[in-house]
Amino acid sequence: MARLDTLKAKAGERALFLRSFVAHPRLVGAVLPTSRRAVRDMLDLAPIPSARRVVELGAGTGVYTGELLDRMAPDASLLAFEIDSRMAAELRKRIVDPRLRVVADSAEALGAHLEDGPADAIVSGLPFTSLPLAAREAILDVAQRALAADGTMLVLQYSPLIQGELERRFGSVRRRISAFNVPPAFLFACTRSSGAAVRGGER
């Protein structure tokens, strides 16, 4: 019975995700949520257990959110952005955790919501290559400014196209491919090397 409930919940999440894709294909950028295996592969690229403040961009149905909370310390915090208000509302209902704040707003507004200091980790599931150029640049600008000097930004994409832009902005980018996803996912872990410029001011 418990297994049947889990399967029903999963089918409901997938249906919600697909509806959102049909309504806004360029913003959602995928027909299925990221696989559990790819989520784990991505989060293995950053020291999430020691992070005080974590930010998630494009939380969707929460596949990263749950795994992040499982890995985070009891007194850490997670600020999750999801522009689709229905998905954000479902996420708030499904994952109740005092460390989590779900913001139904664009990731472009990150600076206005990150009150307690820079983020130690930023985890992005945003489809950067299909977002409007202005939104992509605004989000990367704000994320770059919000990241602590020794923080890590993780980015999942379905192509390697963004890699050059990430390298120019952050200085150091490690790449891994997770084959256990439809389609296979490119995972990027970005850290700031001393030479990398921070747009809008140095930290």
Ligand X SMILES: C[S@@+](CC[C@H](N)C(=O)[O-])C[C@H]1O[C@@H](n2cnc3c(N)ncnc32)[C@H](O)[C@@H]1O
Told to check if 58 binds ligand X by CB under 6 A, we report yes
Q: How far is the CB of 39 from ligand X (least distance, A)?
A: 7
Told to check if 170 binds ligand X by CB under 6 A, we report no
Structure tokens at 19: 């509806």
The answer to whether the CB of 36 falls within 8 A of the CB of 70 is no
Which residue number, 141 or 171, has a Cβ lying nearer to ligand X?
A: 141
Told to check if 67 binds ligand X by CB under 6 A, we report no
CA 100, 77, 56, 39 torsion: positive or negative? negative
Which residue number, 78 or 126, has a Cβ lying nearer to ligand X?
A: 126
In angstroms, the CA 114 to CA 123 distance is 14
User: Judged by CB under 6 A, how many residues of this single chain contact ligand X?
Assistant: 25
In this chain, which of 16, 45, 64, 71 binds ligand X, going by CB under 6 A? 64
In this chain, which of 45, 48, 51, 63 binds ligand X, going by CB under 6 A? 63
Residues shown for the chain: 203
Q: Which residue has the tokens 């007194």?
A: 75
In angstroms, the CA 142 to CA 105 distance is 14
In this chain, which of 69, 79, 83, 142 binds ligand X, going by CB under 6 A? 83
Which residue number, 30 or 121, has a Cβ lying nearer to ligand X?
A: 30
Computed over its alpha carbons, how large is the radius of gyration of the chain?
16
Report cis status (omega within 30 of 0) of the bond before 183. yes
Q: How far is the CB of 156 from ligand X (least distance, A)?
A: 7
In angstroms, the CA 38 to CA 63 distance is 10
Touching ligand X, residues 92-151 (CB under 6 A): 106-108, 125-127, 135
Residues at the site binding ligand X, with contacts judged by CB under 6 A: 20, 27-30, 33-34, 57-60, 63-64, 81-84, 87, 106-108, 125-127, 135
